[in-house]
Structure 1
Amino acid sequence: MSTIYKFDESYLKRAFDNRWVFDCAVIDRHAVSFILFSRVAKDDGNRVLCSVSFGANANLEGRKYTGFLFPLLGTAPNLGKTSVMLGRVKSVAVHGDAGDGMWPDIPRSDQGPLSSGPKNLSTIDGRLYVCGGWRHVCYLDDDQTWVSIRANLTDPPAEKVTDYGFDAIAGFNANDIYAVGGEGDVWRYDGKLWRQCAVPTNMLMESVCCAGDGNVYVGLQSGGLMRGREDSWEVIHEDRMSVPFKDIVWFQDRLWCTSEYGLWTLDAKGRLVDADVPPEVRACAGNLSAADGVMLLGGLGGAAICDGKAWHRLY
């Protein structure tokens, strides 16, 4: 194992024993964060938000919480080395330079940052962006307030709200953001206004990645994949998986997709194939995060990190 990612096992054991990774995020190439659940037959409501630092200042810090239903994890670089945990219904907790503990919930109203619970989050241009149902989007500003960028977005028809977005968000930068959800509901934000994109499918849209090759990749129901930008799109893969991809990231000039059932990449011919990784790494499938030249994989089977040259199993 790389010296950088060599860690005193007693520290990891203290946090990870009898727990599994529900979500993970790269803070930078020397620090990562996790949401951990108790490894029990029935969810006991206990969560741990923790960060692991590697290298000369190796350390593990965290705090236990309750009440976070199916939480999301992201990072807010504009607030320093800060991880943010959001509950799907309510609750906000942070760990790092911006504090260590609970924050007020994201305000909710028809015209506010969110009208319902958060569905997905993404770090774009150093800020944490959050999307929710009824086509709501906001970001965490430098003064620790949530700022709506709903702008000209309109409510979808009330009788079919589940057919519309948003369920996932990603961006090339703050002036080129894509939010997707429901049955083919794709929108692009140019820094001022949102515009709906014309797409060739009404399949459910579950995840999205603004990739280094200039394309936007959208994870569809049953493990499908759509590629494109603005009004030019194509479905490049259809499947019959029981679950969609949870996370899609771009790393080392390649697209990576994961769910709890595996880890996949796109090959040179644009085909979705099983990732060529060691079995002990594949066992960690579930969640992906990539930033600062490293990629983190975490799930029921543990966690592993790729430093750009090799994979290192963390526990």
Structure 2
Amino acid sequence: MASESFFLQFGPGLVENDHSVRVICEIEVDDGKQPALARWHGPQAGWTFFPMQWMPVRLAQLELPQPCVFALGGDGTVGLGYGGYSEESINTTDTGPRGRGPLRVLRAIAGRLYAAGMGRQVYRRADAGVWEVLDPPKVPVPGEIDICGFTSIDGVDEDEIWAVGYRGEIWRASGLQWSEMASPTNLTLHVVRTFKKHLVFAAGKMGLVLGFVDDAWRVLAQIPGGEDIWDLEWFGGQLFAATSTRLFKLLPDATFEEVAVPGLTSFGYLHANDGVLWSFGTLQLAWTTDAIVWTAQTPTL
């Protein structure tokens, strides 16, 4: 395919290790748009593409009993495999995405997969093709018009799992028992990340960054310019925050400093693993091992 005949846009990605990365992408060609997963095999081998019949929204990976990558669709379809490929579904009834709105996030927590989305849906994968419903007690009934839901979920173990979403709502599950936490904002939160016990952050609209400090959520900072933050990542002992067009890092004085990345103007999502931090922008991809020197990686068909 000639380079002039297609256009690539990217979504969230997943760093499997320092030489294997996957990213959601959409290939726009003359006769329409093709969702796909692109995989980077390292600097020498380059990229391969796996066409999808539906558009994934998030990726996650489990290591045991064998490595497996999962892709989540908003309707609850889950594609999985590592070499082979199969699909399963999360809640096809009206109490699932069909009746309460799309799923937004997929996260591996303590070796198990969690999915969450609109209507405060929460699910945990109990076995192949089996997803348990773990909704909090406050959920709208199917068909009820109530703009609420989770945009992100995370935790380092199942004793403390966090979910955030619309209107600044924050929920905590301790032993899978949910309780709603007091939130210092009514702005939508796009992401919550737990990097270790007592190191928990959330961020979202207007560049607001929250931290869980002394058993309460507090406003830590607001990034310069007030752009929406779409993702957070911890790398090299520092917190990084990504907007659609800029990358920031949190300084010891609780202010954010923009990270200069020459040649990059498109950010959005971050993921770090195995000593590498990747930035997945809508139009550009790049990685670094020191958060100073960045290497652009542009997939080609």
Q: TM-score, with normalisation over the residues of structure 1?
A: 0.79
Which stretch of the first structure deviates more once superposed, 304-313 or 20-29? 304-313
**Aligned pairs for 1:23-38 within 5 A:** 23-38=12-27
SS at structure 1 position matched to 2:183? coil
Cα offset for 1:120?
Answer: 1.6
Aligned letter for 1:155?
Answer: V
Cα offset for 1:110?
Answer: 6.5
Query: What is aligned with 2:296?
Result: 313
**Aligned pairs for 1:1-315 within 5 A:** 18-39=7-28, 44-54=32-42, 58=45, 60-68=47-55, 71-78=57-64, 80-97=66-83, 99-101=84-86, 103-109=87-93, 115-150=100-135, 153-156=137-140, 161-162=146-147, 164-212=148-196, 214-228=198-212, 231-238=215-222, 244-276=228-260, 278-280=261-263, 282-308=264-290, 310-315=293-298
Cα offset for 1:291?
Answer: 2.2
Q: Distance in 1 between matches of 2:274 and 2:145?
A: 40
Cα offset for 1:171?
Answer: 0.9
From the superposition, tell whether residues 189 and 52 of structure 1 become closer, same or farther in structure 2 (CA, over 3 Å): same
Q: Distance in 2 between matches of 1:250 and 1:110?
A: 37
Aligned 8 A contact 1:36 1:47 in 2: yes
From the superposition, tell whether residues 88 and 33 of structure 1 become closer, same or farther in structure 2 (CA, over 3 Å): same
Give deviations 1:97-134, integer Å, cap 9, x for gaps. 5x325x13322446669953211222222333211122
Q: Distance in 2 between matches of 1:83 and 1:26?
A: 11
Please provide the CA RMSD for this pair: 3.3
From the superposition, tell whether residues 270 and 239 of structure 1 become closer, same or farther in structure 2 (CA, over 3 Å): closer
Aligned 8 A contact 2:76 2:102 in 1: yes
Q: Distance in 1 between matches of 2:173 and 2:23?
A: 30
From the superposition, tell whether residues 250 and 160 of structure 1 become closer, same or farther in structure 2 (CA, over 3 Å): farther
Aligned letter for 1:131?
Answer: A
Give deviations 1:258-282, integer Å, cap 9, x for gaps. 1221111111211122114x313x3
Which ranges in structure 2 are unaligned for 5 or more consecutive residues?
none
From the superposition, tell whether residues 206 and 44 of structure 1 become closer, same or farther in structure 2 (CA, over 3 Å): same
Q: Distance in 1 between matches of 2:70 and 2:225?
A: 30
Q: What percentage of residue pairs aligned between the two structures are identical?
A: 24
Cα offset for 1:160?
Answer: 6.3
* Greater strand fraction, Structure 1 or Structure 2: 2
Q: TM-score, with normalisation over the residues of structure 2?
A: 0.82
Aligned 8 A contact 1:24 1:287 in 2: yes
From the superposition, tell whether residues 63 and 45 of structure 1 become closer, same or farther in structure 2 (CA, over 3 Å): same
Aligned letter for 1:251?
Answer: F
Cα offset for 1:239?
Answer: 6.0
Aligned letter for 1:81?
Answer: P
Cα offset for 1:33?
Answer: 0.4
Aligned letter for 1:248?
Answer: L
Cα offset for 1:230?
Answer: 8.1
SS at structure 2 position matched to 1:312? strand
* Greater helix fraction, Structure 1 or Structure 2: 1
Give deviations 1:26-72, integer Å, cap 9, x for gaps. 112231101121256x993311113222389x46443212432x722
SS at structure 2 position matched to 1:85? strand
Give deviations 1:290-312, integer Å, cap 9, x for gaps. 22332111223421122247433
Aligned 8 A contact 1:71 1:87 in 2: yes
Q: Distance in 2 between matches of 1:142 and 1:188?
A: 24
Q: Distance in 2 between matches of 1:191 and 1:294?
A: 32
From the superposition, tell whether residues 94 and 209 of structure 1 become closer, same or farther in structure 2 (CA, over 3 Å): same
